[in-house]
Amino acid sequence: MRILVVEDDRLNRAELRAILARMGHQVLLAGNGEEGVALFMQELPDMVLMDVLMPVMDGYEAVRQIKRHSGDVGQFIPVIFLTSLTDDAELARCVEYGGDDFLSKPYNYTLIKAKVDAFDRIHALYGMLARQKQELERHQGKLENEIKLARHVFNAVISKQPKNINCLRQWMYPVGHFSGDLLVYERSPGGQLYVMLGDFTGHGLAAALGAIPVSDIFFSMTKKGFCLADIAAEINRKLHYLLPTGHFCAACLISIDGVRKRVEVWNGSLPPVLVIDAEGRITRKILSTKLPLGVVGGADFDRHPEVIPLSDVHSLLLYSDGLIEAQNSSGQQFNMTGLDHAVHAAGSAAAVFDAVKDGITKFMDGHEAHDDISLLELQCEGLSGELMDGVTEGPSGTLATAWSLELRLGVGTLRKIDPLPVLMNWLVQTKLSEGQRIHVYTVLSELVNNAVEHGLLELDSSKKATFDGFESYYTKRNELLEKLAQGHVSIRLEQSPVVGGRLIKMRVEDSGQGFDVDKVYSMLDDNKEKFGRGIALARSMCSTLVYKGNGNTVEAEYRG
């Protein structure tokens, strides 16, 4: 240590210098308070030994100045008074002026060594604290930079989503620097809206890290026309592979299909999704039936969403568990009951969103949330119209070229691969306008699904007529497809340039038994039910649509 000794008596000074030097310290000497303060400022020693009674400036004043200065430079520099005083009041005065301890004269080597060593330890402790504080500040700065970086990347990823969808309302209340909740939505090439609300374990950076690959997969697969089940499975696969055990994402994926008039909901560990009717009543709660994303890999993952007819849904209300677990100042939770009451109090579907938002805000009454809160309302009926409004109709402006392609898919392939995204990707490349693309996609998907469901699997679509039937129909579909031993579906597409645009011929053939073609036609002409509407829809978009053979081949022509 570097120790400053301030002492007017030359003999005492020399003695102290010898003692301290023997202990291995470096010694600085001053003859009075004023010199002592000056030397202190210049050298900033590690410790000061200060005589009390000196000419020019006494020890009290010198210590007052020294302590003020060492406070300014943010260091603890111990000061020990050297005194022959024995009066208690005088000794107390030493401490009052900022002294940390005192040593009595005459000097005793053992005592001096003990005191100096003790302050050496305290001095070292302060040094360590100061270094740790610096280190903490450095880490804090680094962390803030990294959060800035993550937020930048995160914003870039989610900025791809379409703006201004009127029938989608959202409210997010993050706890950390940014939310552990992720809300993304995007339109598919087939004209559906895909929405995902995810809630990652943890908040801030840890959560955002997972959100980046998830939203990337969500956007790219949605734009390529993959179905909801495939998107859920791919996100699950990626998270299972990327995240360490114990980290996962509770999520709900939803597709709203205004063309086929149906809603798909895949709920993996988010609280129940509320189905609201036009009067604002909760008609159903879609419970989570799946594990969160990223928990189990591969074959254990249940990818199949629930399918609900659009006509049964006025709007859907989604929220993260932060909403029902939010607490008020007396520690009570908002709960499902609080949510039910808030919805009930709204009185109409249009008022539900604000009623819930106001309800939770009033309930918390400024009390800090301990989990991110997200609330999302999808007005399904309105959305299905809005999705089609923005679509550009008419010719694409580029000259159509001639091409054809043919796919033949066996049962094994159909179980694993949905052919529609593959075909859609191709159609995107051919520069169809958005309106044309939606039409062709709709026709193709109806024809292909029909070939699989009715041609190969011989499912009875009248089962779809009831609410529960709609779901069991799709469960049955997947079961039958798993069991089917053989069969195939062939798809042929051919485009030729014609005056004013293009002609796309579609031909879908299945290896099934076929059916009575005339009966289908008569059903198409007067069917207003929920089922069998797919083919009627496809036919309305085509210039011709005819069944051939024993009903297992269909040919359609689309002009655009």
Partner 1 sequence: MAQVSVSASNGEMTIRVAGRFDFNVHKEFRAAYEQTLGGGSVPAKYIIDFGATEYIDSSALGMLLMLRERAGKGAHIVIVHCNQEIKDILGISNFNKLFNIE
Angle at 474 between CA 232 and CA 421, to 5 degrees: 50
Residue 242 binding partner 1, by CB under 8 A: no
Residue list 198-217, contact with partner 1 (CB under 8 A): 199, 201-202
Q: Mask of contacts with partner 1, 305-334, x by CB under 8 A? A: ----------------x-------------
Residue 552 binding partner 1, by CB under 8 A: no
Whole-number minimum distance, CB 237 to partner 1, in Å? 17
Whole-number minimum distance, CB 201 to partner 1, in Å? 5
Please choose, out of 86-94, 287-295, 375-383, 520-528, the segment that lies near partner 1 by the rule CB under 8 A.
287-295
Angle at 414 between CA 410 and CA 419, to 5 degrees: 110
Which is nearer to partner 1, 67 or 203 (by Cβ)? 203
Which is nearer to partner 1, 164 or 245 (by Cβ)? 245
93: tokens are 């005065």
Residue 181 binding partner 1, by CB under 8 A: no
Q: Pick from 288, 472, 511, 527: which binds partner 1 (CB under 8 A)? A: 288
Query: 273, 339 in Cβ contact below 8 A?
Result: no
Number of residues that bind partner 1 (CB under 8 A): 22
Query: 538, 545 in Cβ contact below 8 A?
Result: yes
Max intra-chain CA distance, the chain: 127
The position carrying tokens 């330890």 is 121
Residue 250 binding partner 1, by CB under 8 A: yes
Query: 495, 430 in Cβ contact below 8 A?
Result: yes
157: tokens are 């990823």
Which is nearer to partner 1, 271 or 560 (by Cβ)? 271
User: What type of residue sits at position 456?
Assistant: L
Which is nearer to partner 1, 269 or 445 (by Cβ)? 269
Residue list 291-310, contact with partner 1 (CB under 8 A): 291-292, 295-296
Please choose, out of 123-131, 269-277, 354-362, 390-398, the segment that lies near partner 1 by the rule CB under 8 A.
269-277
Please choose, out of 66-74, 194-202, 208-216, 428-436, the segment that lies near partner 1 by the rule CB under 8 A.
194-202
Q: What number of H helices and E strands is found in the chain?
A: 17, 20
Whole-number minimum distance, CB 246 to partner 1, in Å? 3
Q: Pick from 236, 255, 269, 450: which binds partner 1 (CB under 8 A)? A: 269
Whole-number minimum distance, CB 290 to partner 1, in Å? 6
User: What type of residue sits at position 114?
Assistant: A
Angle at 150 between CA 149 and CA 151, to 5 degrees: 90
CA dist 275 and 286 (Å) reads: 7
CA dist 212 and 275 (Å) reads: 29
Residue 350 binding partner 1, by CB under 8 A: no
CA dist 203 and 181 (Å) reads: 8
Q: How many CA atoms lie within 13 A of 118 on its CB side?
A: 11
| DSSP 8-state secondary structure symbol assigned to residue 420 | H
**Cα-based distances in Å from 491 to 227, 422, 486, 494, 543:** 18, 12, 17, 10, 19
Which is nearer to partner 1, 98 or 268 (by Cβ)? 268
Q: Pick from 74, 106, 246, 500: which binds partner 1 (CB under 8 A)? A: 246
Residue 175 binding partner 1, by CB under 8 A: no
What backbone phi and psi angles, to 5 degrees, belong to 377? -120, 130
CA dist 282 and 317 (Å) reads: 10
Q: Mask of contacts with partner 1, 24-53, x by CB under 8 A? A: ------------------------------
Residue 369 binding partner 1, by CB under 8 A: no
Strand partners, 195: 185, 254
Whole-number minimum distance, CB 272 to partner 1, in Å? 8
Please choose, out of 96-104, 140-148, 285-293, 551-559, the segment that lies near partner 1 by the rule CB under 8 A.
285-293
Q: Pick from 12, 75, 161, 289: which binds partner 1 (CB under 8 A)? A: 289
Which is nearer to partner 1, 181 or 446 (by Cβ)? 181
CA dist 308 and 28 (Å) reads: 87
Q: What is the end-to-end Cα distance of the chain in Å, rounded?
A: 90
Whole-number minimum distance, CB 288 to partner 1, in Å? 5
Whole-number minimum distance, CB 299 to partner 1, in Å? 13
Whole-number minimum distance, CB 3 to partner 1, in Å? 43
Whole-number minimum distance, CB 241 to partner 1, in Å? 14
Closest CA to 169 of 148, 146, 185, 145: 185
| Residues 6 or more apart whose Cβ sits within 8 Å of residue 16 | 5, 7, 27, 49, 82, 107, 112
Q: Pick from 270, 276, 316, 355: which binds partner 1 (CB under 8 A)? A: 270
Which is nearer to partner 1, 97 or 319 (by Cβ)? 319
Q: Pick from 34, 100, 371, 381: which binds partner 1 (CB under 8 A)? A: 371
Across 423-462, b (16+ Cβ under 10 Å) vs e yields: bbeebeebebbbbbbbbbbbbbbbbbbbbbbbbbbebebe
Which is nearer to partner 1, 327 or 478 (by Cβ)? 327
Residues at the interface with partner 1 (CB under 8 A): 199, 201-202, 245-248, 250, 268-271, 287-292, 295-296, 321, 371
